[in-house]
Amino acid sequence: MTVKRFFAIGFIYFLALIGWNILGDVTQYRSSDRLYGLHSDVESLWGKPITQSAPRLSTNTLDTQTAQYLSPSKNNINVDLILEYRKKGLIWFPTYKVRFNGEYQVTNNAPVTQKVKLAFDLPVENATYDHFQFTLEKQPINVNNVNEKGIRTIILLNPGETKTFNIDYATRGIKTWRYDVSGPTQQVNKLDLTLTTNVDKIDFTTGSLSPMTNTLNDSTRTINWQADRLLTQQPVAVEMPEKLNPGPLASRITYFAPICLGFFFIVLGSINIVKQVNIHPMHYFFVAGGFFAFHLLFAYMVDLVDIHIAFATSALVSLILVTSYLKAALGQHFPWKLAAFGQTLYLLLFSYSFFFEGATGIIVTIGSILTLAGLMYATAKIDWSAAFKQRHEDKMARKMAAKAAKLDAKKAAI
């Protein structure tokens, strides 16, 4: 390979790099750059992240006007959380339906009758709440005690008396669900919170309470938090797993494409030297176009079909383009099967590694080491000086043969 060809191939690589950067920017704009606007749209259509607070109980005794906060003597809470992904543009959002049922007890430990003020804030103002019910001692309370903020009422308790109230509703949210267990007293008595969900791998947000049990039975996960007398400011908080988003994934794969093409160009250069195949820079140009076709087709198919179908279709198209072109352009003696294997490894496997979050680096590293080992083994016995010298001599011989052919043609014409 001459210096002139080397720079020509480098220029082709540079053009491909510019093309992939432009395509990556366009794909990113269509996905992640519009994420915040899409997130607002989804929230307005579906719901916001939900934070449910524990009920606030306060009282004024007959001999003082100072408000004193009370803690419920029992907190029995059941939450059913069903994850249902919603797609907007190129983004999947982790939306969910939630059914909340909280049963609380309040006890009057004072020697006098108390009027306990109950305030239970609904998690999101102006949201939609289905199956809403508020009962006191199993008796429904008039809905006039409910406003846009939540429940406001008074519970009358005789000395030593305990009453039970229950709040039940269903609503919708996105991404996270939280429950602030302690309220203003930062004390929780007899906590028993059970959350059931269809999420296989659910996350607990940083700084939240750790569950006592976390079990998976068939397709249902049951998580439980229990405490007899707890002092805490930490909430119970779970986070829905993110679904593989086609837009951001396509842009990451596109930005990584020059690495894939660089490895493949190295393989072509090695074939050029080892197999004595004359690969012209224009061949490199069309190979780069075949690689680019994969990312271009994939970037626009993911918006229309399943992401795996889009990847498989784009990969097949690119593989056929490149291998059939190299076989047709360089003849049957060209090791097109080796080229097909190289494209499968560097373009398809390296790109597909982005589907496995956290594993891309190790997959690319292993592939790079295997490539280095293969090239070292294949070229170990090559006399590089003789190889490049032979190339020069072959070139000079072809020029001499061409001149001789021209002279013969002129003599024959005379």
Q: Range of 289's domain? A: 3-31+245-382
**Residues sharing a CB contact under 8 Å with residue 414, sequence separation 6 or more, in sequence order:** none
What is the number of structural domains in the chain?
A: 2
Same domain? For 342 and 228 the reply is no
Q: Is residue 196 part of a domain?
A: yes
d(CA 265, CA 334): 15
Domain CATH number, residue 98:
2.60.40
Q: Is residue 107 located within the same domain as residue 172?
A: yes
Residues with Cβ < 8 Å from 207, sequence gap 6 or more?
A: 234, 237
Q: Are residue 101 and residue 181 in the same domain, yes or no?
A: yes
Do residues 199 and 164 share a domain? yes
Question: Is residue 87 within a helix (H) or strand (E), and if so which, with residue range?
Answer: strand 74-88
Do 340 and 313 share a domain, yes or no? yes
Burial of 381 per CB tally in 10 Å (0-12, 13-18, 19+): exposed
Edge-to-edge, what's the strand order for the sheet holding 220-231?
139-140, 130-136, 162-174, 91-107, 74-88, 187-197, 220-231, 213-217
Specify whether the CB–CB gap between 15 and 287 falls below 8 A: no
Query: Do residues 311 and 335 share a domain?
Result: yes
Give a yes or no: residue 414 inside a domain.
no
Position 238 scores a pLDDT of: 94
Same domain, 75 and 163: yes
Tell me which DSSP letter residue 111 carries. Answer: S
Residue 388 lies in a domain: no
Sheet holding 56-59, edge to edge: 68-70, 56-59, 114-121, 150-157
pLDDT of residue 414: 64
Write down the pLDDT at residue 24.
Answer: 87
Domain-located, residue 407: no
* pLDDT at residue 309 in the model: 92
Is residue 413 in a domain? no
Within a 10 A sphere around the Cβ of 295, how many other Cβ atoms? Answer: 26
In this structure, the answer to whether residues 279 and 184 fall within a common structural domain is: no
305 lies in the same domain as 254: yes
Q: Of 193, 215, 239, which residue constitutes the final position of a domain?
A: 239
Q: Helix count (H) and strand count (E) of the chain?
A: 9, 16
149 and 225 part of one domain: yes
Query: Smallest Cα–Cα separation from 37: which of 91, 95, 84?
Result: 91
Q: Is 412 contained in some domain?
A: no
What is the reported pLDDT for 355?
Answer: 86
Q: Is the dihedral of CA 226, 229, 232, 235 positive or negative?
A: positive
Residues 216 and 314 placed together within one structural domain of the fold? no
Distance CA 297, CA 317 (A): 9
Mean pLDDT by 10 residues, the chain (414 residues): 78 91 84 63 82 89 68 94 84 90 92 88 85 89 69 89 94 93 85 93 89 89 92 90 82 90 86 77 91 92 86 93 89 81 88 83 85 77 63 60 72 68
Q: Are residues 167 and 256 in the same domain?
A: no
Residue 192: strand pairing partners? 76, 226
